[in-house]
Amino acid sequence: MMKTFPGRFALCASILFLSCKKDSSSGGNPPPTPPTDTVVTEVINPQIDPSLASTIGIFMNDWKAKTFTAPTYKDTTIVTSNPSTVTVDFANVITKISPSIFGNNANSWMTGIVSQPALMTHLSNLKTNIVRFPGGSISDIYFWNAPINKFPADAPATLVDASGKSAASGYWTGQNQDDWTISVDKYYQLLQQTGSQGIITVNYGYARYGTSNNPVAAAAHMAADWVRYDNGRTKYWEIGNESYGDWEAGYRIDQTTNKDGQPLLNTGYLYGQHFKVFADSMRKAAQEIGKTIYIGAVVMEAAPASYMGDTQKNWNSGVMGNTGTAADYYIVHNYFTPYNTNSTAKAIMDSASSVTSNMMNYITSNMTSNGVATKPVALTEWNIFSQGSQQAVSNINGLHALILLNEAIKNKYAMTSRWDLANGWSNGDDHGLFNIGDEPGANKWDPRPSFYYMYYFQKLLGDRMISAGNSNSNILTYASSFTSGQMSVTIVNKSTSVQEIQITTKNFKKGDRYYWYSLEGGSDNGEFSRKVYVNGNGSSGVSGGPANYNTLQSYSSTTANGIKVKVPARGAVVMVVEAK
């Protein structure tokens, strides 16, 4: 009897079948195996958050995940002929984005603010997140708890200026209720009504020019009393404003009225010693009321120029060497372009990226060289010093703001606060984000171009910065992601011609649509247009942008034929791409 084994019969039958089957086209040979459809599955790497940068640190405590909600849109078809490619890697997370990156400076002469409905609407729309107060050099002559024209007995009637001459003190008070100024209580109302946090700069100058037996203790006590009164409404505090500068009250003092043996000129070493007295008093006050506060120390943002004196040349080493662990973070200010120069548009835009990175590198290297742990870095004043062509109120300054904010995130700053919400026209050399009422032909509180760039950037920004790159030297590209899955892309065109762009992605499954806003200047005032057009919509006045900016439809297109945009000359596009 013949034995059969499992499977052998099937094998023999297959051989028999193949040997009998003929194909006229193959000369009797078996036909070729038909092709098999191959399904290639794209590998999508997940996002992995990097470790929190020490230069951000405590400022990330309030971070929240963001969910994107699609805006109303106008269906738009983009046709490009030879676009440059921007590549975004969704999985490559550079950093979570600090919620304090969008701050602004209020000041004490821009009305009571909360009494100005138009301004308050703009601030609420902007979602500035953090507002610094009481404003620049005023901080060092500011008595927060004093009624109008009633100052402490140990605050001298005159102060010594940079040249050594005596001049009227010009003190400011926090309890002045006149509506041309903002009181301390109105400041707290401003924060509450706009959903913002505060950063308060206490009066350090008083520790230098005060005439009591112990002016440092008197000034620190006044600061601690403010902490008690604040009662936890403010987490971030600064001690002094640009205390290394000869323009600052207390930099030079009248030694004949000083009773604790302080030197004529301030030094980083002295400020560091005084800082510890302030910090100790303020933290004890916070502990008494069961609150936590964070206190920043003032440092210089760049290497001192050759013409500067010993105060500036030794400032950072003195501060860092003497504050030690007492400082929670370091404070820098920068106005990016050379002082009072008629800078070109290119120079202004270039400064936003180069200076931002150079400044961070300088401060972190100072921390290392002075043997202190890396701490958060807060850029609590920024703008441009350019003047002569109305640069400060121009579309170009809007692009500068957009680049700077992206570079600050990329370089892992803890916070930034733009100087300032309103200032003075000064023939266009006005740092104000809004017209305070003195710009010819413009309505009071009309936003300047910078406002629009900041508004739309924040509106479409995610909660993590991710990697983006391109090979086109005319453009700068940045990207972010939402925890809800979408991808945001910002493209800045520094050139004088339209740039066609196609966006490719890695580790991202695009959805059906993308949305964008296109911003550009007008044809007025040469390369420093005072206007900004958003998706073709502009101002009916002499400057600014569309009045309906907060309801303006975005452009939108399907992703079926790729993600393509045209970025206007000396303009920008901010967009969000849906995810599967």
pLDDT tens readout for residues 7-48: 333 333 333 333 333 343 334 455 555 555 444 567 899 999
Cα separation, 241 vs 5, whole angstroms: 94
Is the peptide bond between 178 and the residue preceding it cis, with omega within 30 degrees of 0? no
**Is position 45 within any domain?**
no
**Is position 36 within any domain?**
no
Q: Do 209 and 266 touch, CB atoms closer than 8 A?
A: no
Q: Do 205 and 171 touch, CB atoms closer than 8 A?
A: no
**Is position 390 within any domain?**
yes
Query: Do residue 335 and residue 389 come from a single domain?
Result: yes
Query: Do residue 125 and residue 192 come from a single domain?
Result: yes
Of residues 381 and 41, the one with the higher pLDDT is: 381
**Is position 46 within any domain?**
no
**Is position 21 within any domain?**
no
Cα separation, 534 vs 545, whole angstroms: 7
Of residues 504 and 19, the one with the higher pLDDT is: 504
Whole-number pLDDT of residue 491: 98
The confidence band for 6, taking pLDDT boundaries of 50, 70 and 90, is very low
Q: Do 182 and 123 touch, CB atoms closer than 8 A?
A: no
Query: Do residue 431 and residue 473 come from a single domain?
Result: no
Cα separation, 428 vs 391, whole angstroms: 7
Structure tokens belonging to residue 408: 């600050």
Closest to 108 (Cα-Cα) out of 443, 450, 421: 421
Instruction: Compute CA distances 296 → 108, 239, 289, 355, whole Å.
Output: 21, 7, 20, 22
Question: What is the helix, strand, coil percentage profile of the chain, to 5?
Answer: 30, 25, 50
Structure tokens belonging to residue 29: 């040979």
Query: Do residue 351 and residue 337 come from a single domain?
Result: yes
Whole-number pLDDT of residue 294: 98
- 3-state secondary structure at position 93: strand
| First-to-last C-alpha distance (Å) of the chain | 65
Structure tokens belonging to residue 272: 């560091």
Q: For residues 535-540, give the mean pLDDT.
A: 96
Is the peptide bond between 99 and the residue preceding it cis, with omega within 30 degrees of 0? no
The confidence band for 523, taking pLDDT boundaries of 50, 70 and 90, is very high
Cα separation, 186 vs 207, whole angstroms: 26
Closest to 202 (Cα-Cα) out of 315, 86, 282, 284: 282
Of 442, 461, 480, the residue at which a domain comes to its end is: 461
Query: Do residue 313 and residue 272 come from a single domain?
Result: yes
Residue 319 burial (CB count, 10 A): 28
Ranges assigned E (strand) in 412-459 = 415-418
- The DSSP annotation for 298-362 comes to E--SSPPPTT--HHHHTHHHHHHHHHGGG-SEEEEEE--SPTT----HHHHHHHHHHHHHHHHHH
The CATH number given to whatever domain includes residue 414 is 3.20.20.80
Q: Do 530 and 395 touch, CB atoms closer than 8 A?
A: yes
When divided into structural domains, the chain yields a total of 2
Query: Do residue 336 and residue 416 come from a single domain?
Result: yes
Chain centroid to Cα 60, Å, comes to: 14
* pLDDT 10s digits, 254-278: 999 999 999 999 999 999 999 999 9
pLDDT higher than threshold 70 for residue 309: yes
Closest to 551 (Cα-Cα) out of 535, 571, 575: 535
- 3-state secondary structure at position 557: strand
**Is position 27 within any domain?**
no
pLDDT higher than threshold 80 for residue 231: yes
Please state, rounded to an integer, the average pLDDT across all residues of the chain: 93
Whole-number pLDDT of residue 41: 60
* pLDDT 10s digits, 59-107: 999 999 999 999 999 999 999 999 999 999 999 999 999 999 999 999 9
Query: Do residue 242 and residue 318 come from a single domain?
Result: yes
Cα separation, 318 vs 68, whole angstroms: 46
Tokens 């900004």 locate to 532
Whole-number pLDDT of residue 43: 87
Whole-number pLDDT of residue 33: 55
The CATH number given to whatever domain includes residue 471 is 2.60.40.1180
172 pairs with which residues across the strands? 142
Query: Do residue 119 and residue 171 come from a single domain?
Result: yes
Whole-number pLDDT of residue 11: 33
**Is position 510 within any domain?**
yes
Whole-number pLDDT of residue 29: 52
Of 461, 481, 498, the residue at which a domain comes to its end is: 461
Tell me the torsion sign for CA atoms 570, 459, 49, 236. positive
- 3-state secondary structure at position 433: coil
Q: Do 571 and 518 touch, CB atoms closer than 8 A?
A: yes
* pLDDT 10s digits, 243-256: 999 999 999 999 99
Q: For residues 430-454, give the mean pLDDT.
A: 98
This prediction's pTM:
0.92
Structure tokens belonging to residue 302: 């760049």
Query: Do residue 344 and residue 472 come from a single domain?
Result: no
Cα separation, 519 vs 452, whole angstroms: 8
Whole-number pLDDT of residue 75: 97
Q: Do 183 and 176 touch, CB atoms closer than 8 A?
A: yes
Whole-number pLDDT of residue 35: 53
Query: Do residue 237 and residue 364 come from a single domain?
Result: yes
Whole-number pLDDT of residue 534: 98
Query: Do residue 83 and residue 120 come from a single domain?
Result: no
Cα separation, 91 vs 116, whole angstroms: 44
Of 440, 461, 482, the residue at which a domain comes to its end is: 461
Structure tokens belonging to residue 327: 């400082």
Question: 412: alpha, beta or left, given left = phi > 0 and alpha = psi -120 to 50?
Answer: left
**Domain encompassing residue 520:** 57-96+466-579
Query: Do residue 485 and residue 376 come from a single domain?
Result: no
Instruction: Work out the burial of residue 246: count CB atoms within 10 Å of its CB; fewer than 13 is exposed, 13-18 middle, 19 or more buried.
Output: middle
Closest to 506 (Cα-Cα) out of 476, 466, 557: 466
In the chain, % of residues over pLDDT 90: 92
pLDDT higher than threshold 60 for residue 4: no
Lowest mean pLDDT across 15-19, 216-220, 399-403: 15-19
